[in-house]
């Protein structure tokens, strides 16, 4: 459904692009690859389609090849995902070593029956190795910490691509794969998964607070929401994670397509005013609800779902994960309570940056008019091909679509179909829902007080100034890119230069000296062959010739000579016999 809507939206968004047919070819390849991951029941085929998804996403992210940033982003996404995929391959090999089979149904049956192809001493090690390896694949594909760095840069691709790949499908493939093999996870693996998801959700939500690029906010939001899903897998709330995967696909695709419509309109303003500005910078927007009412309503519904506001789908699915996290913490105690605590804190951040984005884009006055005279007059409403996907996805962001009781998704048709959801305490569930709703309302309210009427804007400037380390930490995504650049990339280049020098000076030097030695040795052997071996052979030939000439002289053809030699021989024989 999302793919079909993205295709429809792209008909207008990509109209006039010189590579229009190629774009839809790549989009079709990506959709085919994702369907392969979903439909196959064999881990090997999942891996094959997994790699096809990586290739097609590389092509789509770098679709605008004339943009250096797009090319860098596509290479970055491809290379970072290869790191995770190496672990994925290790996990697959470990599974095969354990069960001598790659069919997930057979693997599950053997696992629950305790039938393994290795001795007891190796079983736990290989099961854990398989779990960690498969999780590594999900870390790369679902942009989890520490491999989250590729997703924000992937926004360089066309916006409909972001809606499909980086919101609804590709990044969710990692979560989907984890859900399918969750039965194999040992407690150690589950704790690592839950911890990784929690850290990712918090780090990305904090990073989204300071972003001004409309797509960057949504990119970090996607990373954060994927963190929630991974957290749910780790705490055992597999059904809740799949529920959130579905709701997130709808409301985040709606957000990205709405952002695409806004960027499309801003590009038109830029073209018609013959000016230059960043069409994705929210500081150039404002007041667009009056000019783009359908986009505003769709954005509002999907944003409320993202914020976890009651009556919307995100409230049902995200709270189901938080309830699972709270139950997990109640069971294990101690540090396990950090999981729901940081989950709630991330929910507060989410509501705040969602409110900030809504206000900056749709409320107030059109800020670009302060820089370009009458810029607001050039804003034109979008076509029905762009509106229809927004209306459908905005509608699917409502809570009653998934549950007749929009405040309780536990008995809804979707969550009840997913198996593997953990048992919950209803008193805990009510507490989590109250906390979550309070945080959502508080975050949105705080955003309004700061960015709406500006009552607390001065407080924000004093508590969170742009020169502060806290602001820079958020703006630069915890300096992860800088860390990798300075520590890993720089040192990798340094090591490669050293290895290059070692290769040229030592290895190549040794090879060259060895080659020179072989050449000299060849010349020596040639001299020996020519002067000694051939000389000895020639000597034998000469001696043989002389002996032949001597013996030939005995047979001259003269009878007198034959008689003389016979007489000489007879005399010699007679002398020998007399002496004897």
Does residue 195 surpass a pLDDT of 60? Answer: yes
What are 327-343's pLDDT values in tens digits? 888 888 888 899 999 99
| H-helix segments, 448-533 | 457-463, 469-475, 480-483, 490-502, 508-528
SS3 281: strand
The mean pLDDT value for 401-407 works out to: 81
Does residue 231 surpass a pLDDT of 90? Answer: yes
Q: Token digits for 87?
A: 């672990």
Does residue 277 surpass a pLDDT of 90? Answer: no
What are 143-152's pLDDT values in tens digits? 898 898 988 8
**Of residues 179, 383, 96, the one with CA closest to residue 268:** 383
Whole-angstrom Cα distance, residue 244 to residue 313?
Answer: 8
Q: Which of 64-73, 432-441, 449-458 has the highest mean pLDDT?
A: 432-441
For residue 422, name the pLDDT band (cuts at 50, 70, 90): low
Whole-angstrom Cα distance, residue 148 to residue 167?
Answer: 14
Dihedral sign computed on CA atoms, order 395, 347, 440, 460: negative
The mean pLDDT value for 478-491 works out to: 87
Neighbours of 143 (CB within 10 A): 31
**Of residues 256, 257, 288, 249, the one with CA closest to residue 386:** 257
Q: Token digits for 272?
A: 């018609």
The mean pLDDT value for 427-445 works out to: 89
Rg of the chain over CA atoms, in angstroms?
A: 38
The mean pLDDT value for 167-195 works out to: 89
The secondary structure of residue 382, as a DSSP letter, is: P
Whole-angstrom Cα distance, residue 414 to residue 402?
Answer: 6
**Of residues 309, 387, 413, 401, the one with CA closest to residue 352:** 309
Whole-angstrom Cα distance, residue 246 to residue 200?
Answer: 19
Does residue 423 surpass a pLDDT of 70? Answer: no
Helix (H) / strand (E) containing 112: helix 104-113
Q: What is the pLDDT of residue 88?
A: 93
Q: Token digits for 415?
A: 């969550």
The mean pLDDT value for 204-211 works out to: 93
Q: What is the pLDDT of residue 228?
A: 94
The mean pLDDT value for 366-394 works out to: 82
For residue 424, name the pLDDT band (cuts at 50, 70, 90): low
Whole-angstrom Cα distance, residue 57 to residue 461?
Answer: 39
Q: Helices 43-61 and 120-141 sit at what angle, rounded to 10 degrees?
A: 20
For residue 379, name the pLDDT band (cuts at 50, 70, 90): confident
For residue 556, name the pLDDT band (cuts at 50, 70, 90): low
Whole-angstrom Cα distance, residue 499 to residue 486?
Answer: 19
Q: What is the pLDDT of residue 463?
A: 67
For residue 206, name the pLDDT band (cuts at 50, 70, 90): very high
Does residue 378 surpass a pLDDT of 90? Answer: no
List Cα–Cα distances, 182 to 85, 115, 176, 178, 188, in angstroms: 18, 18, 10, 6, 13
Whole-angstrom Cα distance, residue 379 to residue 194?
Answer: 46
What percentage of residues in the chain have a pLDDT greater than 70? 97
When mean pLDDT is compared across 70-74, 115-119, 124-128, 533-537, the lowest value belongs to 115-119
Question: Does the N-terminal peptide bond of residue 146 adopt cis geometry, omega within 30 degrees of 0?
Answer: yes
Given a contact cutoff of 8 angstroms between Cβ atoms, the answer to whether 287 and 363 are in contact is yes
Whole-angstrom Cα distance, residue 489 to residue 433?
Answer: 44
What are 25-84's pLDDT values in tens digits? 888 888 899 899 989 999 999 999 999 988 988 898 888 888 888 888 888 889 898 999
Q: What is the pLDDT of residue 421?
A: 47
For residue 301, name the pLDDT band (cuts at 50, 70, 90): very high
Whole-angstrom Cα distance, residue 260 to residue 361?
Answer: 13
Q: What is the pLDDT of residue 269?
A: 83
Polymer length of the chain = 580
Per-chain mean pLDDT for the chain: 87
């Amino acid at each position: 459904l999302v793919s079909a809507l993205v295709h429809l939206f792209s008909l207008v968004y990509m109209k006039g692009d010189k590579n229009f047919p190629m774009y839809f070819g790549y989009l079709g390849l990506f959709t085919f690859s994702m369907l392969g991951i979903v439909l196959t029941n064999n881990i090997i085929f999942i891996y094959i389609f997994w790699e096809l998804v990586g290739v097609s996403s590389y092509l789509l992210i770098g679709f605008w090849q004339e943009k250096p940033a797009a090319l860098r982003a596509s290479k970055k996404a491809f290379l970072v995902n290869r790191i995770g995929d190496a672990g994925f391959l290790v996990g697959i090999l470990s599974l095969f070593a354990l069960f001598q089979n790659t069919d997930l149904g057979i693997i599950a049956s053997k696992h629950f029956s305790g039938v393994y192809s290795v001795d007891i001493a190796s079983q736990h090690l290989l099961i854990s190795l398989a779990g960690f390896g498969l999780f590594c694949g999900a870390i790369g594909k679902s942009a989890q910490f520490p491999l989250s760095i590729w997703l924000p840069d992937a926004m360089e691709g066309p916006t409909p691509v972001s809606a499909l790949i980086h919101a609804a499908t590709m990044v969710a493939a990692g979560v989907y794969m984890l859900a399918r093999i969750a039965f194999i996870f040992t407690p150690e693996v589950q704790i690592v998964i839950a911890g990784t998801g929690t850290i990712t959700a918090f780090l990305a939500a904090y990073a989204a607070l300071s972003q001004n690029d409309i797509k960057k906010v949504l990119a970090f939001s996607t990373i954060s929401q994927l963190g929630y899903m991974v957290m749910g897998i780790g705490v055992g709330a597999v059904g809740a994670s799949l529920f959130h995967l579905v709701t997130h696909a709808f409301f985040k695709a709606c957000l990205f397509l709405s952002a695409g419509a806004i960027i499309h309109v801003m590009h038109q303003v830029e073209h018609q005013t013959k000016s230059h500005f960043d069409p994705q910078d929210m500081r150039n927007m404002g007041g667009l609800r009056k000019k783009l009412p359908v986009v505003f309503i769709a954005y509002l519904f999907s944003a409320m779902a993202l914020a976890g506001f009651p009556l919307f789908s995100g409230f049902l699915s995200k709270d189901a994960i938080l309830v699972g996290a709270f139950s997990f913490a109640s069971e294990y105690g101690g540090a396990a309570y950090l999981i729901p605590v940081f989950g709630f804190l991330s929910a507060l951040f989410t509501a705040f940056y969602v409110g900030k984005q809504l206000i900056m884009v749709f409320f107030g006055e059109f800020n670009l008019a302060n820089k370009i005279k009458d810029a607001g007059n050039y804003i034109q409403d979008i076509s029905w091909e762009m509106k229809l996907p927004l209306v459908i996805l905005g509608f699917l962001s409502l809570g009653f679509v998934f549950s007749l009781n929009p405040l309780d998704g536990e008995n809804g048709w979707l969550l009840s179909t997913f198996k593997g959801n953990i048992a919950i305490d209803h008193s805990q569930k009510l507490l989590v829902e109250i906390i979550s709703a309070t945080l959502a309302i508080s975050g949105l309210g705080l955003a309004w007080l700061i960015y709406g009427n500006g009552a607390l804007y001065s407080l924000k400037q004093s508590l969170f100034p742009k020169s502060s380390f806290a602001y820079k930490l958020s703006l630069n995504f915890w300096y992860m890119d800088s860390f990798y650049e300075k520590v890993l990339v720089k040192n990798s280049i340094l090591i490669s230069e050293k290895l290059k020098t070692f290769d040229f000076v030592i290895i190549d030097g040794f090879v060259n000296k060895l080659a020179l030695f072989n050449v000299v040795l060849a010349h020596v052997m040639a001299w020996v062959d020519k002067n000694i071996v051939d000389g000895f052979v020639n000597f034998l030939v000469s001696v043989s010739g002389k002996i032949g000439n001597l013996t030939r002289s005995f047979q001259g053809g003269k009878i007198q000579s034959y008689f003389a030699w016979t007489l000489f021989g007879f005399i010699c024989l007679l002398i020998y016999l007399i002496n004897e």
